[in-house]
Amino acid sequence: MLEFTFLGLILLVPVVYLVLSAGQLQGGSFAVVGAADHAAKVFVEADTPEQGQAQARQAALVALENFGFSPEQAQVEMSCDGTCLSPGSTVTVVVRLAVPLPLVPTMPGVNDSAVTVDSSATQSVERFG
């Protein structure tokens, strides 16, 4: 009985941690896709490019927080082809997220991220406003 318990513990703990890590990574992937998509949609609806950047960044960070990731782990980059918010132009938003390992405490000087995931979304500004 002791051998069964010991062997079960040795095999079960790594498998459970692998499942938790895969779930964390999948959650990070969903978070960046949603954040990039929302940010691009918010940007093209703004009145000015400055307002669009501020609102898009805020929308991306809220989307990431909804998935349980902190804004400090993310980078949001925005670019426009041509003049931002001119009719027919496109806006591209790239969101990068450092996905942390589950159950690893944050310590100064220690990189606790398993992987960095990113996603980009492009939206067109309406031609006829």
Whether residue 109 has pLDDT greater than 90:
no
**Segments making up each domain of the chain, as ranges:** 2-124
pLDDT in the model for residue 129:
61
* pLDDT confidence tier of residue 23, bands split at 50, 70 and 90: very high
Q: Which amino acid is at 11?
A: L
Nearest to 84 by CA among 56, 118, 120: 56
The predicted model scores a pTM of 0.84
